[in-house]
Chain A
Amino acid sequence: AQSVTQPDIHITVSEGASLELRCNYSYGATPYLFWYVQSPGQGLQLLLKYFSGDTLVQGIKGFEAEFKRSQSSFNLRKPSVHWSDAAEYFCAVGKQAGTALIFGKGTTLSVSS
Protein backbone atom coordinates (compact mmCIF):
# COMPACT_ATOMS: atom_id res chain seq x y z
CA ALA A 1 0.00 0.00 0.00
CA GLN A 2 1.05 3.53 -0.63
CA SER A 3 2.17 5.67 2.27
CA VAL A 4 3.81 9.01 2.87
CA THR A 5 6.04 9.93 5.78
CA GLN A 6 6.91 13.44 6.85
CA PRO A 7 9.39 12.87 9.66
CA ASP A 8 9.32 16.41 11.03
CA ILE A 9 6.13 17.44 12.80
CA HIS A 10 7.30 20.99 13.49
CA ILE A 11 10.23 23.03 12.18
CA THR A 12 11.29 26.55 13.11
CA VAL A 13 13.46 28.52 10.71
CA SER A 14 14.81 32.04 10.94
CA GLU A 15 13.56 34.48 8.35
CA GLY A 16 16.00 34.55 5.45
CA ALA A 17 17.40 31.12 6.22
CA SER A 18 17.08 28.14 3.92
CA LEU A 19 14.44 25.48 4.37
CA GLU A 20 14.17 21.78 3.63
CA LEU A 21 11.09 19.75 4.47
CA ARG A 22 11.44 16.01 4.20
CA CYS A 23 9.06 13.60 2.54
CA ASN A 24 9.47 9.87 2.00
CA TYR A 25 6.98 7.73 0.14
CA SER A 26 6.30 4.07 -0.28
CA TYR A 27 5.07 2.92 -3.68
CA GLY A 28 6.19 0.25 -6.13
CA ALA A 29 6.18 2.29 -9.30
CA THR A 30 6.97 5.91 -10.04
CA PRO A 31 4.35 7.82 -8.14
CA TYR A 32 2.74 11.15 -8.78
CA LEU A 33 4.10 13.45 -6.06
CA PHE A 34 2.74 16.71 -4.73
CA TRP A 35 3.45 19.35 -2.11
CA TYR A 36 0.56 21.40 -0.75
CA VAL A 37 0.55 24.30 1.70
CA GLN A 38 -2.23 25.16 4.12
CA SER A 39 -2.30 28.49 5.91
CA PRO A 40 -4.41 28.82 9.07
CA GLY A 41 -8.10 28.68 8.22
CA GLN A 42 -7.37 28.22 4.54
CA GLY A 43 -7.74 25.41 2.07
CA LEU A 44 -4.88 23.50 0.51
CA GLN A 45 -2.86 25.19 -2.20
CA LEU A 46 -0.67 23.26 -4.61
CA LEU A 47 2.99 24.31 -4.46
CA LEU A 48 4.40 21.90 -7.03
CA LYS A 49 4.05 18.44 -8.52
CA TYR A 50 6.19 15.74 -10.10
CA PHE A 51 4.98 13.20 -12.62
CA SER A 52 8.01 12.41 -14.77
CA GLY A 53 11.03 13.97 -16.46
CA ASP A 54 13.38 16.39 -14.74
CA THR A 55 13.68 15.34 -11.13
CA LEU A 56 14.06 18.92 -9.90
CA VAL A 57 10.73 20.70 -10.10
CA GLN A 58 10.02 24.35 -9.55
CA GLY A 59 6.87 25.57 -7.90
CA ILE A 60 5.17 28.71 -6.80
CA LYS A 61 6.43 31.11 -4.12
CA GLY A 62 10.06 30.20 -4.79
CA PHE A 63 9.75 26.57 -3.70
CA GLU A 64 11.41 23.63 -5.41
CA ALA A 65 11.50 19.89 -4.79
CA GLU A 66 13.75 17.08 -5.91
CA PHE A 67 12.57 13.55 -6.66
CA LYS A 68 15.15 10.95 -5.63
CA ARG A 69 14.02 7.47 -6.62
CA SER A 70 16.91 5.74 -4.84
CA GLN A 71 15.88 7.34 -1.55
CA SER A 72 12.12 7.31 -2.16
CA SER A 73 12.16 10.97 -1.27
CA PHE A 74 10.62 14.18 -2.52
CA ASN A 75 12.01 16.92 -0.27
CA LEU A 76 10.78 20.48 -0.49
CA ARG A 77 13.29 23.34 -0.41
CA LYS A 78 13.38 27.10 -0.39
CA PRO A 79 16.61 29.12 -0.35
CA SER A 80 15.31 32.02 1.75
CA VAL A 81 12.24 31.78 3.94
CA HIS A 82 9.85 34.68 4.43
CA TRP A 83 7.60 35.18 7.46
CA SER A 84 4.59 34.62 5.20
CA ASP A 85 5.77 31.04 4.57
CA ALA A 86 4.68 30.04 8.08
CA ALA A 87 2.03 27.39 7.45
CA GLU A 88 1.47 23.65 7.38
CA TYR A 89 3.00 21.72 4.51
CA PHE A 90 1.71 18.42 3.20
CA CYS A 91 3.41 15.94 0.91
CA ALA A 92 1.07 13.67 -1.06
CA VAL A 93 1.33 10.75 -3.45
CA GLY A 94 -1.06 9.43 -6.07
CA LYS A 95 -0.95 6.19 -8.04
CA GLN A 96 -1.71 7.97 -11.27
CA ALA A 97 -3.08 11.22 -12.52
CA GLY A 98 -6.56 11.94 -11.27
CA THR A 99 -6.71 9.37 -8.49
CA ALA A 100 -7.17 10.03 -4.80
CA LEU A 101 -4.14 11.29 -2.93
CA ILE A 102 -2.46 9.81 0.12
CA PHE A 103 -1.18 12.57 2.37
CA GLY A 104 1.57 12.71 4.92
CA LYS A 105 0.72 13.96 8.42
CA GLY A 106 2.12 17.38 7.61
CA THR A 107 4.96 19.58 8.84
CA THR A 108 4.20 22.85 10.59
CA LEU A 109 6.66 25.58 9.69
CA SER A 110 7.24 28.47 12.05
CA VAL A 111 9.38 31.43 10.97
CA SER A 112 11.25 33.41 13.59
CA SER A 113 12.47 36.96 13.14
Chain B
Amino acid sequence: GAGVSQSPSNKVTEKGKDVELRCDPISGHTALYWYRQSLGQGLEFLIYFQGNSAPDKSGLPSDRFSAERTGGSVSTLTIQRTQQEDSAVYLCASSATNEQFFGPGTRLTVL
Protein backbone atom coordinates (compact mmCIF):
# COMPACT_ATOMS: atom_id res chain seq x y z
CA GLY B 1 0.00 0.00 0.00
CA ALA B 2 0.94 3.68 -0.18
CA GLY B 3 3.32 5.00 2.41
CA VAL B 4 3.55 8.45 3.95
CA SER B 5 3.92 11.10 1.30
CA GLN B 6 5.18 14.64 1.66
CA SER B 7 5.13 17.62 -0.64
CA PRO B 8 6.98 19.42 -1.94
CA SER B 9 10.14 17.31 -1.88
CA ASN B 10 12.23 20.46 -2.06
CA LYS B 11 11.38 24.06 -1.21
CA VAL B 12 13.61 27.07 -1.62
CA THR B 13 12.34 30.31 -0.16
CA GLU B 14 13.58 33.72 0.78
CA LYS B 15 14.07 34.84 4.34
CA GLY B 16 10.89 36.35 5.71
CA LYS B 17 8.48 34.43 3.49
CA ASP B 18 5.92 31.94 4.79
CA VAL B 19 6.00 28.27 3.72
CA GLU B 20 3.57 25.37 3.97
CA LEU B 21 4.67 21.77 4.01
CA ARG B 22 2.19 18.97 3.46
CA CYS B 23 2.00 15.45 4.82
CA ASP B 24 -0.35 12.68 3.68
CA PRO B 25 -0.23 9.89 6.26
CA ILE B 26 -0.95 6.24 5.68
CA SER B 27 -4.69 5.71 5.46
CA GLY B 28 -6.21 4.74 8.80
CA HIS B 29 -3.27 5.91 10.89
CA THR B 30 -4.57 7.94 13.80
CA ALA B 31 -1.27 9.41 14.93
CA LEU B 32 0.82 11.89 12.94
CA TYR B 33 4.17 13.39 13.84
CA TRP B 34 6.41 16.13 12.50
CA TYR B 35 10.17 16.06 13.03
CA ARG B 36 12.98 18.29 11.81
CA GLN B 37 16.38 16.98 10.74
CA SER B 38 19.21 19.47 10.58
CA LEU B 39 22.98 19.11 10.51
CA GLY B 40 23.64 20.66 13.87
CA GLN B 41 20.66 19.35 15.81
CA GLY B 42 19.96 15.89 14.45
CA LEU B 43 16.35 14.71 14.49
CA GLU B 44 14.03 16.82 16.64
CA PHE B 45 10.38 16.27 17.46
CA LEU B 46 8.13 19.18 16.55
CA ILE B 47 4.47 18.28 17.00
CA TYR B 48 2.24 15.21 17.44
CA PHE B 49 -1.42 14.66 16.59
CA GLN B 50 -3.40 11.73 17.99
CA GLY B 51 -6.96 11.32 16.77
CA ASN B 52 -9.19 14.14 17.96
CA SER B 53 -7.06 15.00 20.97
CA ALA B 54 -5.32 18.33 21.35
CA PRO B 55 -1.93 18.14 19.63
CA ASP B 56 1.31 17.94 21.59
CA LYS B 57 3.09 21.10 20.48
CA SER B 58 5.91 20.86 22.98
CA GLY B 59 8.62 20.54 20.31
CA LEU B 60 7.77 23.60 18.24
CA PRO B 61 10.81 25.90 18.40
CA SER B 62 8.95 29.21 18.17
CA ASP B 63 5.53 30.71 17.58
CA ARG B 64 6.43 31.06 13.91
CA PHE B 65 5.77 27.34 13.60
CA SER B 66 2.27 25.91 13.55
CA ALA B 67 0.56 22.81 12.23
CA GLU B 68 -2.92 21.57 11.64
CA ARG B 69 -4.46 18.29 10.73
CA THR B 70 -7.69 18.39 8.82
CA GLY B 71 -10.25 15.61 9.07
CA GLY B 72 -7.84 13.43 10.94
CA SER B 73 -5.80 12.87 7.81
CA VAL B 74 -3.66 15.38 5.91
CA SER B 75 -1.45 17.71 7.91
CA THR B 76 0.14 21.01 7.03
CA LEU B 77 3.16 22.47 8.81
CA THR B 78 3.39 26.23 8.40
CA ILE B 79 6.48 28.30 9.07
CA GLN B 80 5.92 32.03 9.08
CA ARG B 81 8.59 34.64 8.43
CA THR B 82 11.20 31.99 7.66
CA GLN B 83 14.73 32.39 8.95
CA GLN B 84 17.93 30.83 7.66
CA GLU B 85 18.10 28.60 10.73
CA ASP B 86 14.82 27.01 9.60
CA SER B 87 16.70 25.32 6.76
CA ALA B 88 16.39 21.59 7.38
CA VAL B 89 14.64 18.44 6.23
CA TYR B 90 11.13 18.24 7.68
CA LEU B 91 9.97 14.67 8.20
CA CYS B 92 6.44 13.47 8.76
CA ALA B 93 5.53 10.12 10.28
CA SER B 94 2.29 8.32 10.98
CA SER B 95 1.38 5.35 13.09
CA ALA B 96 -1.55 3.12 13.96
CA THR B 97 -0.01 1.47 17.01
CA ASN B 98 3.57 1.70 18.15
CA GLU B 99 5.59 1.83 14.93
CA GLN B 100 6.10 5.14 13.16
CA PHE B 101 6.36 5.12 9.38
CA PHE B 102 8.29 8.03 7.96
CA GLY B 103 7.84 9.94 4.75
CA PRO B 104 10.73 10.97 2.49
CA GLY B 105 10.81 14.49 3.90
CA THR B 106 10.73 18.02 2.55
CA ARG B 107 14.09 19.74 2.21
CA LEU B 108 13.60 23.42 3.06
CA THR B 109 16.27 25.93 2.11
CA VAL B 110 15.91 29.51 3.30
CA LEU B 111 18.10 31.95 1.42
* Chain A residues proximal to chain B, CB less than 8 Å: 32, 36, 42-46, 49, 51, 90, 92, 94, 97-106
Contact = CB atoms under 8 A, between A and B. Distances in A.
A106 B40 CA distance: 12
Given A100-B33, A100-B45, A105-B42, A51 B100 contact: no
Given A44-B91, A49-B99, A106-B42, A100 B104 contact: no
Contacts of A100: 33, 45, 48, 56, 59
**Chain B interface main SS type:** strand
Given A100-B48, A100-B59, A42 B43 contact: no
Interface residues of B, number: 24
Contact of A101 (B4, B45, B50, B105): B45
B104 A101 contact: no
B97 interface: yes
5 contacts: A36-B102, A43-B91, A98-B98, A100-B59, A101-B100
